[in-house]
Every structure is written in C-alpha cells, then in structure tokens.
Structure 1
C-alpha cells in the first residue's frame, strides 16, 4: 500500500483543516464540559501553523506579491490577538472565527492547487 505524500498548497490546506477540526472539537468540549485542556492544545497547534506561515512570508524567496503578504500578515496579527484573548478568557463563540479562517484559507489553497494537479496528471 502506497502512502500519499502531500506537498505545497495541499499540505498547507491539510494542516489548516486539521487545526480547524481541533478547534471545532475543543469548542464543543468547552461548551459542553467546560473543559479548556483541548482548547489550549488546539490554540497552540493553530498558533504554530500560523507562526510558520508568518516565517515563510518573511523569506526573501517568497514569491507572493507584497500586497498579499501584507494582508496575510495582518490576518496573522488578528489570529494572534484572538488566540491570546481565548487563552486568557475562553469562550466557545469566540473560537468560531479561527475555525472559519482556517477553513476558508484551506479552501482557497485547495481550489488553487486543483487545476495544477489536473494538468500535471493529465499530461
């Protein structure tokens, strides 16, 4: 059995969806059981991902146009602020925006990688 290896945008989308799922499950546990341990783990995982993205944006070889980099850095700033706010004052409803950001960015990454993959495999 061959193991599928994800690269590039598909890998980024996959880790964002994993983070969204962790946040979603943590939201449920916080709302139903008042358990913050899952939220703490999910927030730290999500923060690590976005810190890596931030680091990649700062690389001189990053091919993204400057306006996109600036928009992503502003988004990362918002994610950081929301993460720290949730760490100090956990609230299920305030988690939703992080889940939606991750899902939306992942969706965009998947949409952009789809045609490229189709071209590579059809040739």
Structure 2
C-alpha cells in the first residue's frame, strides 16, 4: 500500500475496501474498483496458484476494458490529454496482463498492483486545483447546477 493511500486510510478518507461506494460519485466507484482488483491480485500473488493469479488478472483486465471504453466514448468529458495518458497506460496494462495470463508468475503482478493502487489513491483524493468550492468542480463547470455530481470517467 502506498504511503499516500495509507495516510488517507488512517484519516478515514478510504472508508472500506469491502463496501462499494454509493452511486453518484464516479471517482469513488472507479477508485473502489481499482482497489478491489489490486487486493485480489495481491491475494492471488500470495497464493502463488497460477489459476488464482489468472482469475485475478482477468478481473483486472475486465475493469481496464471498462475504463478504456469509457474514455473512448463520445460522451467522455475527461480532458483529451488525460484521456490519452490513461489510454496509453491501459495499453501497457493490457500487454502486462497478456504476459501474466501466458506465464502466471507471482512477481509479474507487482506492476499491475502498484498501478491500480496509485491510480485509486489519486481518485480517492478530492481535486483542489482550479476549484471554486468543496465539490472539486473547476471554475464554471456545472455552475448552473451546483448539486450535480462530477461527470464520469477517469478524472485524476
């Protein structure tokens, strides 16, 4: 677990790994999914069982496929530069997953676990830059609808 994520956990910002977040906050849902996948991969890594490793990695692959689909959607509101960066990361993850599925060794999971944890950690944090209020929205974003949640997609 990264130091930043651990500090957030101690402060209560990460309430529970086992309880899915309520609908309406895409950042928390994405962070929870990434965290769950990281936990399952870590458990699989500890088991050393190739079939358990493959199952955990396949779950992670499904999650990253959903993330990619969201980022490629015409309705995606994620800034283009961030979208490109996350899609490049997803391409790297796809290659790593294929490698793990073909040769399920525990040590190959480290990079996937780290990426999921770090991205989840960033998603769990409330964005503060260019923000008008505590919602984390940037200036002018949904100004006429103050109670709307932030849009979906990866918004680190």
- 1:82 equivalenced with 2:101 (yes/no): no
Alignment-derived partner of residue 116 in structure 1? 135
Contact 2:50 2:105 in 1 (8 A): no
TM-score (structure 1 length as normaliser): 0.83
SS at 2:75 equivalent: coil
Alignment-derived partner of residue 26 in structure 2? 8
1:4/1:107 CA distance change after superposition, 3 Å: closer
Aligned residues: 113
Q: How does 1:1-123 map to 2 (within 5 A)?
A: 5-6=22-23, 7-30=25-48, 35-112=49-126, 115-116=134-135
TM-score (structure 2 length as normaliser): 0.66
Return 5+ residue gaps in structure 2 as ranges.
Answer: 1-19, 129-133, 137-146, 148-156
The structure 1 segments of at least 4 consecutive aligned residues displaced by more than 4 Å after TM superposition are none
Higher RCO, 1 vs 2 (CA within 8 Å, ≥6 residues apart): 1
TM-aligned CA deviation for residue 38 of structure 1: 1.2
Measured in 2, the distance between the counterparts of 1:96 and 1:55 equals: 25
1:96/1:27 CA distance change after superposition, 3 Å: same
The structure where helix makes up a greater share of residues is: 1
Return 5+ residue gaps in structure 1 as ranges.
Answer: none
Measured in 2, the distance between the counterparts of 1:113 and 1:39 equals: 34
